[in-house]
Structure 1
Amino acid sequence: MAPIFIVLILVSIIALGEVLSLSSRAKIPTLLVVIAVTFVLLQTGILPESYIEASTFVAAGGVLVPVLIVHLGTMIPLSVIKKQYKAVLVTLIGLLFSVGAMLIIISLIFDYKTAVAGAGPLTGGIIAYIVTQEGLTEAGFTSLAAIPVVVFALQNLVGMPLTSTLLSKYAVSIRDDFSDGKYTDQEDNQVEGESKTKGLLLPDRFMQSNFFLLFLLFIGGALATWLGEITGINYSLWSLAIGIMGFALRIYPDKALDRSNSSGLAMVALIIVVVHSLVGITWDQVVSSLVAVLIVIVVGTTGLVIGGMIGAKIFKWKPTKAVPIVLTALYGFPGDYLIVEEVSRSIGRNEAEQKRIMDELLAPMLIGGFTSVTVGSIVIASILIGTL
């Protein structure tokens, strides 16, 4: 079959996942649909394993991983992080408790390798999963290959309903108590807003070019890969550092890959890399890993909740605000945004109340998700894989 038809099949599966996710307000995660449908097609032989490799997107996705991580480093303005430092610290506390609990408890019940296989994906998103999967493969632990993919597929089903329930309770307190004065201002909520490319080191006429932006991103990705080879430190950490520093030094604009109009195709390639990781995983492996996966999810989520409650105690926040911010590690963006939007609309009795709820919750929830999924999980996965 020609590669274009294979890619059409794979993109159709991704589109199906998006349709179901959007129709259910993200209650059915896109990646869960993609992983489940592809796995069934592979196991039944309807989609031959060789087809995924033949799509050529696997190689493209592998090349784009460091570039995408550099892009992630350009997504969080330092000014917003400073204003939302409590959300950052609460999230980090939750991540530390979650990872610590998994490394101790899962290692005692199973072994250390199983704990590492579950910790990376549970504390973050697609990049942390890929780093973990690659690390396990390189270390020769192919028997554990099913654990990260099943954790990655199922954690949303725990995180999003729990977040929605707790955040709804906190939203009621916002609605009913307008005297606390703890509402974020308009400026704090510009996490997803567009900022201008002016003020960058390179001339604006160059930075308006999609090709030139891609050139800069590929320089960052190549540099990170080279540094990873000569230092032994995972390339993902170098990519993230280059993106953050490049953005801070005004070499990169914010959301650099989005500005090059290339993020959509890059994400398709990245998802196909995830799909490719299903090749060779059997139904028996998935079934045999379910017990470990469920324990990883329970222990990891419990660690996030405990860490969030401790963070709430330290910063004098209500647990119903702090814990949902930490739980964004289980799903990230756009799930965090969609949950806040849904909660504000369902709890607020009028437009003014809905705006108050949205203003209070949006910035910390987005920053929590960025901190865990974009930064924390990549660091955690890279460090843990390096210990195998």
Structure 2
Amino acid sequence: MNAVLAFSIVMAVWTVSDFIAKKTKSLLSSLFVASIIFLIGFLSGIFPEDLLASSSLLGLGGTIVGFIIVHLGTLISIDDFKRQWKTLVVGIMTVVGIGVLLWIAGFIFGGGPRVGAYEGVVQAMDYVVAGIGAISGGTISVLIIQEAALGVGLTSVAIFPVLIAALQGIIGFPLTSLILRQEAARLKDEYRAGNLAPVVVEETDTPQNTGKLPAWLSTTPGTLLVVGVVVLLSTLINDLTGGILNTFVVALVFGIALRASGIFKPGILNGTDAYGLMMLSIMILVFGPLATVEPADVAALAFPLLIAFVFGIGGIALFAGVTGKLLGYSVPMSIAIGLTSLYGFPGTMILSQEAARGAGETPEEVAAIEGSILPKMIVAGFSTVTITSVIVTGLIAGRIGA
């Protein structure tokens, strides 16, 4: 497909989605609207399968995702990060909840054991394992499941997590948007009552907030260069540890540490000429799996998909809600943290910002609401998708076909 045409179509979809989100005050999030447009477009054949790749945004997004994560790290202070231990606990319990509820579903709908045939509880448990990995995790978890399923010749089980990955954002985005709107409204009341501290907006042109980079590295290319070096170091650490220390987790920690040391200013990429396009390309990563959805696959696995989502989300709501409440979080915030397992970054960032803008009526209110929600959602995405899910999926994937 022509690259300029593909780029223009993607921009048109995002323009419409953003317009609808603003008109509905984020009741319909831009991510949800765009997901529906892309899904209909790909399923109907109106959009060619190579649309996103031809636009060059998909490739750009995959390249610079680490840059954005370093940038997010510079938005979080060391004190903020320390305060998020509760979020990490809620995220871990979310993955446990998904596993427990799907395991129960496997026994309920497995139809009992079958002798000498691959069906019943045995087959159901393979889908349970695949569902746990896909619902609670991202690309890495899906790849682990696929490798295990294909290794024992179970093609349908290998397809299952791909379909979940393609469809879970369409479910997760509106649910999280609705729940975060409730939390944002509560925080607005807290702010007006004086119970939520206002966020002090740091001016980037003051000496203490410009960072220690020399002027020649504070330009757009200079900033991208130094952030790129940090991402490369993160990748190197990932490779040296065999993936135990994930690239994106290391990049986030580097961002936090470099801000704390004063080397990087808060919001390192803010003000760079490339930041807007980088954010747009990151968003496109969310829609990549939709291009591979086949109607026949969805129809054949419709019932297992329905069961996986119903019980998986039930596990999220129950375990995240109870755990968060016990730790002092509101129930909506706790469930929103759990729902990050359905999409991860960049949805965690976009939905948080949209909720804050939809509830806040002044820049100060928006900043205070976002300052409370965003750090939790960012850490939540890493605790579920990037860390806990990969560990759990790696441990249980060997059960497929056993």
TM-score, normalization: structure 2? 0.74
Which residue in the other structure is 1:104 paired with? 100
Change (3 A) 1:223 1:149: same
> Could you tell me how far 1:193 is from its partner in structure 2?
4.8
Q: Percent identity?
A: 17
Q: Secondary structure at the match of 1:49?
A: coil
Which residue in the other structure is 1:91 paired with? 87
Which residue in the other structure is 1:379 paired with? 387
> Could you tell me how far 1:265 is from its partner in structure 2?
1.1
Separation in structure 2 between the aligned mates of residue 107 and residue 212 of structure 1, nearest angstrom: 51
Deviations 1:179-205 (A, max 9, x none): xxx62433xx23x65444745664441
Separation in structure 2 between the aligned mates of residue 119 and residue 204 of structure 1, nearest angstrom: 42
Separation in structure 1 between the aligned mates of residue 386 and residue 177 of structure 2, nearest angstrom: 21
Separation in structure 1 between the aligned mates of residue 171 and residue 370 of structure 2, nearest angstrom: 25
Q: Is the 8 A contact 1:74 1:246 kept in 2?
A: yes
Which residue in the other structure is 1:369 paired with? 377
Which residue in the other structure is 1:253 paired with? 265
Deviations 1:283-320 (A, max 9, x none): 344452233123222221222211221112xxxxxxxx
Q: Is the 8 A contact 1:311 1:322 kept in 2?
A: no
* 1:282 equivalent in alignment to 2:288: no
* 1:222 equivalent in alignment to 2:242: no
Q: Is the 8 A contact 2:213 2:264 kept in 1?
A: no
Separation in structure 1 between the aligned mates of residue 144 and residue 68 of structure 2, nearest angstrom: 18
Deviations 1:86-108 (A, max 9, x none): xx344333323222211222244
Separation in structure 1 between the aligned mates of residue 366 and residue 64 of structure 2, nearest angstrom: 34
Which residue in the other structure is 2:75 paired with? 75
Deviations 1:247-296 (A, max 9, x none): 22333222222242323211222233332222322234445223312322
Separation in structure 1 between the aligned mates of residue 54 and residue 221 of structure 2, nearest angstrom: 27
| Matched AA of 1:322 | S
Q: How many residues align?
A: 352
> Could you tell me how far 1:147 is from its partner in structure 2?
0.9
> Could you tell me how far 1:133 is from its partner in structure 2?
5.3
Q: Is the 8 A contact 2:26 2:358 kept in 1?
A: no
| Matched AA of 1:367 | P
| Matched AA of 2:134 | A
| Matched AA of 2:101 | I
Change (3 A) 1:193 1:282: farther
> Could you tell me how far 1:131 is from its partner in structure 2?
5.2
Q: Is the 8 A contact 2:29 2:173 kept in 1?
A: yes
> Could you tell me how far 1:24 is from its partner in structure 2?
0.9
Which residue in the other structure is 1:299 paired with? 315
Q: Is the 8 A contact 1:336 1:369 kept in 2?
A: yes
* 1:268 equivalent in alignment to 2:284: no
Q: Is the 8 A contact 1:133 1:145 kept in 2?
A: yes
What is the correspondence of 1:130-209 to structure 2 with a 5 Å cutoff? 132=141, 141-165=158-182, 183-186=195-198, 189-190=199-200, 193-196=202-205, 198-199=207-208, 202-209=212-219
Separation in structure 2 between the aligned mates of residue 152 and residue 48 of structure 1, nearest angstrom: 21
* 1:3 equivalent in alignment to 2:8: no
Q: Secondary structure at the match of 2:27?
A: coil
> Could you tell me how far 1:36 is from its partner in structure 2?
1.6
| Matched AA of 1:31 | L
> Could you tell me how far 1:144 is from its partner in structure 2?
1.1
Separation in structure 1 between the aligned mates of residue 61 and residue 50 of structure 2, nearest angstrom: 16
Q: Is the 8 A contact 1:98 1:303 kept in 2?
A: yes
Deviations 1:41-98 (A, max 9, x none): 111111111333333332222211222222222221224556xx3xx34433332322
| Matched AA of 1:291 | I
Which residue in the other structure is 1:48 paired with? 48
> Could you tell me how far 1:213 is from its partner in structure 2?
0.6
CA root-mean-square deviation: 3.4
TM-score, normalization: structure 1? 0.77
Name the stretch that deviates more: 60-69 or 107-116. 107-116
> Could you tell me how far 1:210 is from its partner in structure 2?
1.0
Q: Is the 8 A contact 2:95 2:316 kept in 1?
A: yes
Separation in structure 2 between the aligned mates of residue 260 and residue 114 of structure 1, nearest angstrom: 40
| Matched AA of 1:303 | F
What is the correspondence of 1:350-365 to structure 2 with a 5 Å cutoff? 363-365=371-373
Which residue in the other structure is 1:318 paired with? none
> Could you tell me how far 1:39 is from its partner in structure 2?
1.6
Name the stretch that deviates more: 130-139 or 214-223. 130-139
Change (3 A) 1:195 1:157: same
> Could you tell me how far 1:152 is from its partner in structure 2?
2.0
> Could you tell me how far 1:358 is from its partner in structure 2?
7.5
Deviations 1:322-356 (A, max 9, x none): 223334434644544554565566xxxxx9xx98x
Separation in structure 2 between the aligned mates of residue 342 and residue 73 of structure 1, nearest angstrom: 24
